[in-house]
Amino acid sequence: AYGTSPRFVIEVAISSQARDLGKKALSYARTGVPTYWVVDTVRERTTIHTDPTPTGYGTVRTVPFSEEIAFEGVAVNLAALVA
């Protein structure tokens, strides 16, 4: 499956956060999606998953909207995007 998956997936979680951070994250990791973001507009934060393995993502971090996120050389300001 590696090499046939999208390079980047973004989910905007409103009521689906538990599923997005659980089953979907595992599914995306297993299929080799290198970067998966779950954007939580209620709590104003983004959970970033990287380093996929067959058992889940090796690196998971949560970033508040107030911080820029670097992705492939581009600074992303979610606070400005969702305002």
Walk along the chain (83 residues) and give the pLDDT tens digit of each residue: 455 778 899 998 888 888 999 999 999 999 999 999 999 988 999 999 999 999 999 999 999 998 988 888 888 888 777 76
* Sheet containing 8-13, strands listed edge to edge, beginning at the edge strand earlier in sequence: 8-13, 35-40, 45-53, 56-64
Residue pair 48/58 in contact by the 8 Å Cβ criterion: no
Sign of CA dihedral 74, 42, 39, 53: positive
pLDDT given at position 5: 72
pLDDT given at position 29: 96
- Rounded to two decimals, what is the model's pTM? 0.86
